[in-house]
Structure 1
C-alpha cells in the first residue's frame, strides 16, 4: 500500500508540473523508493497528452487538436440566410487568402466563419490585420478555440 501511495503521489506531482510528462515523472529518482525505467521511442513520449483525429479529406491527413486562436470573420443567427452568408464569406476568404484554412459551422444559436489555426495570439493578430486590410470583412475578431495542427 505504501508503494502504491508513493506511486500515486509521484504521478500526481508529475502532472502538476507543466513541462513534465508521466514518463519523466515515473523515471525520477526519489531516495528510498524504487526505480522505474521506461524504454520507448522518443516520438511516443512526445505524443503523450495529444489527441489525434483524421480529417475528412481523401488523404486522411493527421492533425493534433490543441488550444489556440482563430480569426472570426462572420457571425450570424440561426437562419438559412445566415448559413448562406457564412458560406459566401468563407468563399471570399478562400479566394483572397488560399493559404488560410477556413471553418464554417453552426454553433447554436448562430452560424460562424473562422479562419486559421494559430498557436499564438501574435500569429492570429497578423492574420487579423491582413483580413481587415483587405476591406471585405465587416466583423473581424480573434477568438480562442480548439485548433488543428497538421502532422507531417
Structure 2
C-alpha cells in the first residue's frame, strides 16, 4: 500500500509540469523572481510545430501553396525560382566553388555578391550560397561527372570575374523528368 502511495505521488509530481507548460515558449515566458524576463515574438503557426495549447487556436493560411517567410509576427509570400519548383533527387557529384570566406558578416555579404555575379553571368547554372561552419561558401552547378564540371569551370575562368575557382565533391540535386 505504501508503494502505491509513493508511486501515485511520484507520478503526479512528474506530470504536473506537463499540464502547466506545454512548450519551450511557455516555459521561457514564465516569470520567476530573481530572473530576467524573456519575451518571444513569433508567428502563431510556430506553436503548432512545437506543441503549444495556443496551437489549437492558430489557423492555417488559406493559400497553402504559397511559401511564407516569417518576419516578426507577419508572414510574407516568397516567390520561388522556376528551378525550385522542379522535383529533384540527391546524388554524389561535383560543384564549382567560386568563393570561400570566414564566418564574418563581411564574408556573408561577399558570398552573396559573388552569387549575384554568377547568376548574372551564367543564368542557366544554379548558384548555392550557404554557411558551412566555420566559413561562407558560394558554389555553382550540379555536375554528375568531373569532366562536366571541368568544362564549365574553364568557361568561368575564361571570364576572369572570380579569383579562386575549384571543383569540389558534394551532394548535388538532379532534376527528375
Structures share fold, TM-score greater than 0.5: yes
Q: What is the aligned-residue RMSD (CA, Å)?
A: 1.4
Corresponding position of 1:99: 124
Which structure: larger Rg? Answer: 2
1:92-147: CA deviations, max 9, x gaps? 00001000100000000000000000000000001110111110100100000000
Whole-Å Cα distance in 2 between the matches of residues 144 and 58 of structure 1?
25
Q: Which runs of 5+ in 2 are unaligned?
A: 1-78
Corresponding position of 2:58: none
Q: Which runs of 5+ in 1 are unaligned?
A: 1-55
Deviation of the 1:58 alpha carbon? 7.1
Corresponding position of 1:111: 136
Corresponding position of 2:150: 125
Corresponding position of 1:135: 160
CA change 1:64–1:132 in 2 (3 A) is same
Whole-Å Cα distance in 2 between the matches of residues 58 and 68 of structure 1?
22
The higher-RCO structure (CA 8 Å, 6+ apart) is 1
SS of structure 2 residue aligned to 1:137 = coil
Which residue among 65, 68, 75 is the counterpart of 2:100? 75
Runs of 4+ in 1 over 6 A off after TM superposition: none
Name the count of aligned residue pairs.
97
Whole-Å Cα distance in 2 between the matches of residues 78 and 58 of structure 1?
27
Corresponding position of 2:170: 145
Whole-Å Cα distance in 2 between the matches of residues 137 and 79 of structure 1?
20
Deviation of the 1:57 alpha carbon? 3.5
The alignment's TM-score, normalised by the length of structure 1, stands at 0.61
